[in-house]
Amino acid sequence: MSGYIKTFMLMAALTAVFIGAGALVGGGNGAVVALILAAGMNLLAFWNSDRAVLSMTGARLVTEGSAPDYVRMVHRLADRAGLPRPQVYIIDSDQPNAFATGRSPDRAAVAATTGLLRRLTSEEVAGVMAHELAHIRNRDTLIMTITATMAGAVSMLANFAMFFGGRNREGGGILGSLLVMIFAPLAAALVQMAISRGREYEADRIGAEIAGDPMALASALRKIDQIARGIDNRQAEANPALAHLFIINPLHGGARDALFSTHPATENRVAALMQLAEAGVRRSSIPRTGRRGGPWA
């Protein structure tokens, strides 16, 4: 139930930001319109945000027939974690990365990029997907997915203010529009930050337990972080509000562990996983094929 309480608080916070921004742009009428829009978006976000996110990333559903090794690995990990088997997707992007979405474990999906499946070993891929399953088990995915859709809406409102807000006198005119453009995305980023950083450490810990191999996940995080810096994630760059969904920040230029980062520093996450390994977390029983590339896609 705590996950739903957090989700309600998140939606209320983003709704307040949205209404405040609407008031700055259009005064009382703007606040009313923003309230109506926010109510509709909250309802839509709760029921369809996972589909929206998958659509925005261009993810395609795969099965045991089209990606047997990848899908079977996810299924084995889900069985081990005591979770319903999620739908499995692939994103056509050379940047190695992955995310999970869905409002409940019964309606969950995991997605990995072609770059992740091609560039990482099977053990490292297992560690990454176990991390994503940990988000599903913790019910982080509901909060994460709704945040992506609502924060995107706040950013759209800020863009609207840039073009139209200066014409409205009741709402503060140009000054109100400037405040929206500055503070609306900032407020949305603060909400994202509040739910993002701690949950990554927890998902790393539980993911390492599910896969049974903290060092494989640590190795995967290092590789993803290093490679992602030199490769654009076209889908995330077009929709920056999606960035917090991914296991590693897919956007370029974000300072690690800085105030507005949605992800903890990779080296800090690796250090925590190394401590788990030293504590004796059992290694994975997933077959160590050592294969790359072909079997996944």
Decide if pLDDT at 275 tops 80. Answer: yes
Strands (E), 78-205: 87-91, 98-101, 109-113
| Identified catalytic residue from 132, 170, 202, 209 | 132
Instruction: Tell me the percentage of the chain whose pLDDT exceeds 70.
Output: 64
Decide if pLDDT at 176 tops 50. Answer: yes
Largest interatomic CA distance in the chain? 66
* C-alpha dihedral, 239 to 241 to 242 to 247, nearest 10°: 130
Decide if pLDDT at 117 tops 60. Answer: yes
* 168 alpha carbon, distance to own chain's centre: 36
* Residues 276 and 218: beta-carbon distance below 8 Å: no
Mean pLDDT across 249-276:
76
Closest CA to 135 of 192, 49, 201: 201
Mean pLDDT across 232-239:
87
Distance CA 158, CA 255 (A): 24
Query: Distance of CA 25 to CAs 30, 42, 164, 211, 275, Å?
Result: 6, 21, 8, 49, 50
* Residues 233 and 93: beta-carbon distance below 8 Å: yes
Closest CA to 62 of 125, 9, 111: 111
Q: What pLDDT, on a 0 to 100 scale, did the predictor assign at position 174?
A: 62
Decide if pLDDT at 48 tops 70. Answer: no
- Catalytic residue list contains 132: yes
Q: Is 202 annotated as a binding residue?
A: no
* Residues 216 and 288: beta-carbon distance below 8 Å: no
* Residues 119 and 223: beta-carbon distance below 8 Å: yes
Q: Is 124 annotated as a binding residue?
A: no
Distance CA 40, CA 152 (A): 14
* Residues 138 and 202: beta-carbon distance below 8 Å: yes
Decide if pLDDT at 22 tops 90. Answer: no
Q: pTM of this prediction?
A: 0.75
Q: What pLDDT, on a 0 to 100 scale, did the predictor assign at position 287?
A: 43
**131 or 176, greater pLDDT:** 131
Q: What pLDDT, on a 0 to 100 scale, did the predictor assign at position 254?
A: 45
Q: Which range has the top average pLDDT, 197-206, 259-268, 284-293?
A: 197-206
Q: What pLDDT, on a 0 to 100 scale, did the predictor assign at position 181?
A: 63
Least confident of 49-58, 62-71, 215-224, 249-258: 249-258
Q: What pLDDT, on a 0 to 100 scale, did the predictor assign at position 95?
A: 97
DSSP 283: P
Q: Residue 194 class from Cβ within 10 Å (0-12 exposed, 13-18 middle, 19+ buried)?
A: middle
Q: Is 200 annotated as a binding residue?
A: yes
Decide if pLDDT at 88 tops 90. Answer: yes
